Amino acid sequence: MSEQIPLPGRPVRGSVTGRPIMALLDLLGRRWALRIIWELRETPSPNFRDLQRRCGGISSSVLADRLRELAEAEVVGRGADGYLLTATGRDLLERLRPLEEWSVEWRNAVASAGAPPRSGTAHPGKQDRD
């Protein structure tokens, strides 16, 4: 809780001046931050427990910390029914979509190069939701 939330203009990991891209990478690189943003892309807006269930495996304390950080960064907000992406968060999600498209192409390239398919997931017992 003593760690400062990465925002442009503040010193962050990799940048003493807080260059905007470094602040963004610091924020998104925090455990579960991208998953939370990804899960908030869908409606209806989940409450805390629903979001925790969607993320699968996240502790309530980590979820609360990430939501607080993402809210201070103006990426996530609270609506009448639960958590949601702010206009800034929706804009960020749209800018991440080309990475999703690239990742599918990457998967196909790796598969066509003959890389053996992996059985299971990176975290046994936890399945990614598409």
CATH code for the domain of 81 = 1.10.10.10
Q: What is the pTM of this model?
A: 0.79
Residue pLDDT, tens place only, 78-111? 998 899 999 999 999 999 999 999 999 999 999 9
Closest CA to 68 of 121, 32, 114: 32
Total domains, the chain:
1
Residue pLDDT, tens place only, 104-125? 999 999 999 887 666 555 544 4
Rg (CA), the chain: 16
5 is a domain residue: no
78 is a domain residue: yes
Distances (CA, A) of 67 to 35, 64, 83, 116: 11, 5, 9, 37
23 is a domain residue: no
For 118, phi and psi rounded to 5 degrees? -85, 140
13 is a domain residue: no
Q: Domain containing 81: what range?
A: 31-110
79 is a domain residue: yes
For 100, phi and psi rounded to 5 degrees? -60, -45
